[in-house]
Amino acid sequence: MDIWSWICELPNSVEWTESDSTPMLELASEEKDNSTRSIHLKAERSSGSDSEAVVTFTVCLQGFHPHNAHKPLWVSEKCHLSSENPFLPLLLQLLQEIISNSPTAHDSTCPRSQLQKLKADPIAWIMDSHTPESLSAFFNFVFTMRLFWLCACDAPTDAGSLYFHSLLAPTLQTPSPKLASVLRTFFITVGADTELCFMRTLGYIITKLHIIAQLPVVGLKALLPNPSPPKFSYATEAHGLWILKGYAPVMTMKLARTNAEKTQFTGIDAKESLLRYALAHHQLEAHVQLEYTVGFCEGFIQVRARVDNVRLHVARLGFSQNDDVDFVEEKHFPSRVRVWVGPEIGATYVGGLSLGRSTENKESEVEVKRIVEGNFEKSQVKTSARSSRRTRSKSWRMDQDAEGNAAIFDAVLYDNSTGHEVGSWRPTADEAVHGLRGRYVKANRAFTKKGSVVIAGDEYGEKVGWRLSKEMEGSVLKWRIGGEFWVSYLPNHAKGSYFETRCVEWCDEVDLPLIQQNIP
């Protein structure tokens, strides 16, 4: 199914008259009960106010009871065929509606009512600067996302089932490097606020797909055996920063540890099923910024990097602060992050890697007090001694390490009450009460009140550095940046002992320009 190619092949304004039959593209269809049910996209030609040829697109359902086949499910704005970019309004409308329908994240500072409309110029530039194949992958993906709300919420149940099986699942299960390239350009062009709304919509859609795949609906589980959507992340270089961004619905992350015998919603206690349903609507949003500098020395080039910011947030998709939903206060939390940066594998132009932080070896502070008591009248003297030990402990431990020529920045969460590393902990039933209960309200909490984690550069120590061959001056190298991110769940206010830890890995490349600037 290539929607964009079909749209581009529509007749132009000269060849297409209103008397011609209406072009129609079948998006999905199925045979059931000796009848055909389908989802169609129609292109209807008409004349504008100045007799200019315009086309309007509609999404229609056929064969779904009790839906009226003559009533369109969705209607686009008019596209003027004689304009320089006739289908720009169509793509702009799809993107705007996706962003406007973004599920509300708890405590979000950017509600839908405050979102500005997308500007046409950046979208037009994206359409003009990419190949037809890349643009086709992007448009088809955006159109499939927009259909989610129409088919899942505004259409009969059978239409939603057909959408999930024949449209959504194939789109998400077919990774496309061309799509990833256009998405990266789109996010950089439209800004962080729009990017966040877009990815929260996508995360919500993927979450619903995974939930449906686990429900005991006749035939539906067979249709969606193992949905495996691609990992959505990208890296970029800007203003002396290497930036890595990643988004992962928690249900798509690899399950590392759990105490549950069954990982699905079925066959478990009703209360635990509700808990898992609430936990399923979480998305990890990771933002890593590394500051880098390049120095040109006599005989070598010095490249240095330091952590500027690591920000990890777990968003609740589809729930707002005032929603009356069970277990809305139960939430996954970041428990470990491992970021690496360095030259491409096999690079021979690196002469050495120097780390900027020693392995921490804390000293304990011991305070000893002695008290002497006596009674001289009875010639008896009693003595007693008391000693106390004071130690300072942090919830997060920061380390630097190296693997080959890659520098590794590691941050691990520990439970202060037990001393366990949370990400690798397997608590028993006797350990149900732990120091991570009430974890978002305590004065010495390891998270913000929203459950996020922010690690600034001063936590990770000094810069790491590489010495490169002087012969590389003037070139632009590819530097790899990546990370592994863990999220865990332990009961916060809820009663019970259910826990789990999940992880996801992202890796990408960024530019390292070794070009000396001549400042006058």
Mean pLDDT calculated for residue range 230-245: 90
Q: Which residue shows structure tokens 């992880």?
A: 503
403 domain residue, yes or no: yes
Residues 37 and 66 in one domain: yes
Mean pLDDT calculated for residue range 191-208: 92
User: Would the pLDDT of 374 be above 60?
Assistant: no
Which pLDDT score is estimated for 362?
A: 63
Considering only residues 12 and 288, tell me which one the structure prediction assigns the higher pLDDT. Answer: 288
Residues 313 and 416 in one domain: yes
Which pLDDT score is estimated for 367?
A: 63
Which pLDDT score is estimated for 444?
A: 75
What percent of the chain has pLDDT above 70? 80
Residues 184 and 248 in one domain: no
Residues 168 and 281 in one domain: no
162 domain residue, yes or no: yes
Q: Single out the residue in 230, 258, 280 at which a domain terminates.
A: 230
pLDDT digits over 131-147, tens only? 999 999 999 999 999 99
Residues 219 and 291 in one domain: no
367 domain residue, yes or no: no
81 domain residue, yes or no: yes
pLDDT digits over 327-356, tens only? 777 899 999 999 999 999 888 889 889 988
Residues 466 and 500 in one domain: yes
Residues 31 and 77 in one domain: yes
Residues 106 and 134 in one domain: yes
Considering only residues 167 and 373, tell me which one the structure prediction assigns the higher pLDDT. Answer: 167
Which pLDDT score is estimated for 225?
A: 46
Q: Single out the residue in 187, 207, 230 at which a domain terminates.
A: 230
User: Would the pLDDT of 375 be above 80?
Assistant: no
Mean pLDDT calculated for residue range 69-87: 87
383 domain residue, yes or no: no
- Across 138-152, 173-187, 380-394, 474-488, least confident range: 380-394
Phi, psi of 239 (to 5 degrees): 55, 45
Distance from the Cα of residue 8 to its chain's centroid: 32
388 domain residue, yes or no: no
387 domain residue, yes or no: no
**Contact by Cβ (8 Å): 457, 489:** no
Residues 60 and 184 in one domain: yes
Mean pLDDT calculated for residue range 442-446: 78
pTM (predicted TM-score): 0.88
User: Would the pLDDT of 71 be above 50?
Assistant: yes
> What is the total count of domains within the chain?
2
* Rounded Cα–Cα distance for residues 6 and 26 (Å): 11
User: Would the pLDDT of 218 be above 80?
Assistant: no
Residues 225 and 247 in one domain: no
Which pLDDT score is estimated for 320?
A: 58
207 domain residue, yes or no: yes
Q: Single out the residue in 201, 230, 259 at which a domain terminates.
A: 230
Residues 428 and 488 in one domain: yes
Residues 209 and 257 in one domain: no
* Rounded Cα–Cα distance for residues 432 and 53 (Å): 69
Mean pLDDT calculated for residue range 13-20: 65
- Across 105-109, 115-119, 242-246, least confident range: 105-109
User: Would the pLDDT of 425 be above 90?
Assistant: no
Which pLDDT score is estimated for 312?
A: 95
User: Would the pLDDT of 59 be above 90?
Assistant: yes
Considering only residues 116 and 275, tell me which one the structure prediction assigns the higher pLDDT. Answer: 275
Mean pLDDT calculated for residue range 309-328: 77
* Rounded Cα–Cα distance for residues 232 and 186 (Å): 13
Query: Domain range holding 77?
Result: 1-230
Phi, psi of 444 (to 5 degrees): -105, 30
**Contact by Cβ (8 Å): 417, 445:** no
* Rounded Cα–Cα distance for residues 203 and 316 (Å): 10
Which pLDDT score is estimated for 219?
A: 47
What percent of the chain has pLDDT above 90? 42
**Nearest CA to 405 among 348, 363, 484, 339?**
348
User: Would the pLDDT of 450 be above 50?
Assistant: yes
